[in-house]
Structure 1
Amino acid sequence: MENTPVASSSLALTPTATPPGAISNTGSEAENQSKLKTLLGILRRFIGVADIASVRFSLPSQLLEPVPNLEYWNYLDRPETFASIGESDDELERFLGVLRFWFTKDLKFVKGKPCKPYNSTLGEFFRCSWDVQETLPPVPSRPSSRNSRNSAASKPSQASSKGPVRVSFLTEQTSHHPPVSAFYIDCPEKGLSANGYDQISAKFTGTSIRVTPGVHNLGIFINLHKRGDESYRLTHPAVNLGGFLRGTLNLYVEDICYVTCPKTKLKAVLQYLGDSWIGKAKHKVEGVIYQYTQEDDGIQKIKDVPSKLVLAKIEGSWMSQLYYTVPGSNEKHLLIDLDPLFPEPKTCPPPDAMLPNESRMMWEGVTEAIHAKDYSRATQLKSEIEERQREKAAARATEGVEWRPRFFEAPTLAAGRPRLSADGEKALKGLHTGDYKLEPAAVTGA
């Protein structure tokens, strides 16, 4: 990812393409070391706390990345991989297309470094879009030798269709206790959408933070409306954030996650392998795609998948190249090469079309102050936002008023799949057409 900070919305005069929630490497090495020591001192207070994410403690502004949380947490670092999922008439090729998207969704971590964005406030929302100029060809389920690991034809750079194809993203903080946000991704030209809830649980062990999906985060749900509403559920693995003692933060993934398509009965088990303390981290992942026969086959590990059901195997590094092989051959075929890829810039509404509770507008002053390294001013502005949220929450409690999100229907958190409200549908349609005007919310959370 580019090492440029996120541009302040005040600098934009028209709908502007800006870098995604940047993971910057700003500051000298000494400054970064000092920040990590300060952060470690704060985190030590939470040793033994079951879930520090639910505590919602406020970090000093100098430890924050100047980007709103809702902008930072999107899965469209490479929107062309999402727009290309349903291109093939072959069900296995579509499944491979889902995995190609999966391995690009967090490119911000591959190209950047971990960071802490602003905590979202209740009712805060973010919206943006991407114009994909060329979608990708399907991943061949019966690749020829021309599509081997050493062939340029195996790189996902050939266009499947010319664009532009617009992919739009809308997210809103729907709950504060626990902190949960709903999101919706839409690509009507391709008949694609995705939705889900973002929520994390985190525990500090003393040397690292283990981040897992929260109880309401059941994964990403992708829908192919032009394929008879074929759907996919992609669950998230746990992530370990370490390196506090060495002064260099690193992400390590050592867990198993799943991708399931109920209609085609295809399932992938992906196992992220831990790296040893000795030697360079390889960030390895391996997996299998297979055909299951029951609604819940109970299989949780690769070794338990019967070989006769396997349709493809996955292996490689989730920070570099991913390959697949098909039964009857040991030849590796490239699924995705992350090395030349960087997160795509997003297009946001211009400042005069943003509402006060829109992420960039809400945090504009804090962002400007952090960029100017005026941390006392940034902390003051951040504290004012947090205090407003507390005051409004207390007033609602006194009046017996229940908070309701604006762009999503009242949360049915157990389902894991939020539904758009009428305002949510309008906001997404506006992103597609370039009509960003929305009426201010009657009630805001901060």
Structure 2
Amino acid sequence: MGLVDTLTKSARRSSTTSSEGATMAAGYSAERAPDGNPDDTEVLDKEEGNLVMALISQLRIGMDLTKITLPTFVLEPRSMLERITDFTAHPELIFGAGKIEDPKQRFLHVTSLILAGWHIKPKGVKKPYNPVLGEFFRCTYHYEDGSEGYYVAEQVSHHPPISAFFYVSPRNRVIITGELKPKSKFLGNSVATILEGEDRVRLLDRPEDGEYTITMPNMFARGILFGKMLLELGDFSSVRCPSTNYSCDIEFKTKGWISGGYNAVSGTVKGPGGTAGEIAGHWDQSMEYKDKGGRKQVLFDAATTKVVQKLCLPEAQQEPNESRRLWAGVTRAIKAADMEAATAEKSKIEEAQREKTRAREASGQRHQLRFFEPVGEKYMPNIGVDRQVSGAPLAKQSPDEMARTVKEWLFGEVSTSPSQSVASGTQATPLPPSASVSHFGSETATMASTASMQSLNSVAAVPVHVTAPGPPVDGPKLSIPPPHAH
């Protein structure tokens, strides 16, 4: 009997037994069943288990799952292009970092950003929609100090799948660019998602720092055949700043067979003088940095922070290939627990994608990108971050000029972008305070007032949808300061 047959037999047994039966079934597999926090795990019902088994029967160990269609009940009702926004949900971690004189502290602020986004996740194992070629997601952020952030992601390649993304906060002098190139493999009772690609962070107040490059850990969906389904992060994430010679390799630890726990991270920060300190904690709780002298500072604490909400144009005002509108039928069906309808709606999208591909191949045309352009192995926004497109390069523009340039590029007209004011009959978002102060340990940076932004926010109001980047949360915020000593 082959390994897949053994796993299939085990899973069929577990789908009709209790959790104790699932534990017995674990004896038939080389992988353990997870036993994590009940709030993070879920168990498939019998019908869902049967659907999974129909899928599993097609798989072999190590098989690439890129072209495999997953059942809709394991889908998270948002696109991967939107899920990437989880890593811009805590911008206060790097706002003002460019004003800090100590390069190590600047490095720690950037490092905290990549550590902070993982706690935003649905219960159990849920996979966001695979974006189709040409799909894009865009949104605006309004922060409590009156500043703004803008985000756009586009699916720039379908085979292999590549998502390019761009975030900018003009007044806070931060630009993030990057690509995500996921590859999934079947491992038995788990599916591994290899997150290739990188994030590139730039602090515009510190052009001498150049780019901070960040790679992602890998994701493991445990318990897909038997036991409880659980998401784990594993392997390493790296953060590098060649200009300052600071680096860190962060290990995301998976639970061992006998010992260890879930969601632990550890890493060593190195600088020009060698080892500078250590990072330790849990990515779903809190993480801290301890230097060689034993002094500690919190990098991130999920229990005391809130995510920043996104503002998106209403579905009716979005373009047909904009994520929320494109997947609206699937999302409504999933939220209504109508998996047959969700599958039918998902199939419509996939068939339309195949038809467009056939039409392009027949005509000899190539897909034209909307917001990005290839630059070697990377994809950069075609707005001209470092080169002149219309006016000065974006990175050299004043905050007000940059905001106008980005709004016009992202939404076509400034007056059609999501606004802090909303039309009559729609739920309004509270206006932000006129100013706030962000604390960086012993240093304090006063953020700019809203006065210079009023002309940008006084445009014709349009209704907006205000949504958190992940599970429902309270907001908006900026309630937790960046890394601080204690």
TM-score (structure 2 length as normaliser): 0.67
Aligned to 2:60: 47
8 Å contact from structure 2 (residues 278, 291) kept in 1:
yes
Q: Distance in 2 between matches of 1:208 and 1:30?
A: 14
Aligned to 2:195: 213
SS at match of 1:47: coil
Q: CA RMSD in A?
A: 2.9
Q: Distance in 2 between matches of 1:395 and 1:80?
A: 46
Distance 1:428 1:79, change over 3 A: farther
Aligned to 1:102: 114
Q: Distance in 2 between matches of 1:170 and 1:256?
A: 27
8 Å contact from structure 1 (residues 43, 204) kept in 2:
no
The correspondence for 1:227, drawn from 177, 196, 206, is 206
Q: Which moves more between the two structures, 182-191 or 279-288? A: 279-288
Deviation sequence 1:125-176 (CA, Å, 0-9, x none): 100122221xxxxxxxxxxxxxxxxxxxxxxxxxxxxx12212110011111
Q: Distance in 2 between matches of 1:32 and 1:341?
A: 34
Aligned to 1:354: 318
SS at match of 1:322: strand
Q: Distance in 2 between matches of 1:407 and 1:176?
A: 16
Amino acid in structure 1 at the alignment position of 2:55: I
Aligned to 1:310: 275
SS at match of 1:339: helix
- Percent same amino acid among aligned pairs? 29
TM-score (structure 1 length as normaliser): 0.73
Distance 1:272 1:63, change over 3 A: closer
How do residues 284-363 of structure 1 correspond to structure 2 at under 5 angstroms? Answer: 284-292=264-272, 309-327=274-292, 329-363=293-327
Distance 1:168 1:326, change over 3 A: same
1:279, distance to aligned residue in structure 2 (A): 5.6
Distance 1:85 1:434, change over 3 A: farther
1:112, distance to aligned residue in structure 2 (A): 4.1
Provide structure 1 residue ranges, at least 5 long, that are not aligned to the other structure.
1-24, 134-162, 293-307, 438-446
Deviation sequence 1:349-384 (CA, Å, 0-9, x none): 123431111111111122222222333332222212
8 Å contact from structure 1 (residues 322, 335) kept in 2:
yes
Distance 1:85 1:208, change over 3 A: farther
8 Å contact from structure 2 (residues 316, 325) kept in 1:
no
SS at match of 1:384: helix
Q: Distance in 1 between matches of 2:246 and 2:417?
A: 39
SS at match of 1:316: strand
Residue 249 (structure 2) pairs with residue 238 (structure 1): no
1:80, distance to aligned residue in structure 2 (A): 2.5
The correspondence for 2:140, drawn from 129, 132, 148, is 129
Aligned to 2:347: 383
8 Å contact from structure 2 (residues 202, 212) kept in 1:
yes
1:432, distance to aligned residue in structure 2 (A): 11
Q: Distance in 1 between matches of 2:378 and 2:340?
A: 39
Distance 1:274 1:168, change over 3 A: same
1:427, distance to aligned residue in structure 2 (A): 5.6
SS at match of 1:418: strand
Residue 89 (structure 2) pairs with residue 80 (structure 1): no
1:192, distance to aligned residue in structure 2 (A): 0.7
Deviation sequence 1:251-281 (CA, Å, 0-9, x none): 3333222111122111112122332233672
Residue 64 (structure 2) pairs with residue 64 (structure 1): no
Distance 1:131 1:245, change over 3 A: same
1:406, distance to aligned residue in structure 2 (A): 0.9
Provide the aligned length of Structure 1 versus Structure 2. 359
Distance 1:285 1:192, change over 3 A: same
8 Å contact from structure 1 (residues 288, 314) kept in 2:
yes
How do residues 139-288 of structure 1 correspond to structure 2 at under 5 angstroms? Answer: 163-214=145-196, 217=197, 219-228=198-207, 230=209, 231-278=211-258, 281-288=261-268
Q: Distance in 1 between matches of 2:141 and 2:348?
A: 33
Distance 1:38 1:379, change over 3 A: closer
Aligned to 2:48: 35
Distance 1:370 1:428, change over 3 A: same
Amino acid in structure 2 at the alignment position of 1:244: I
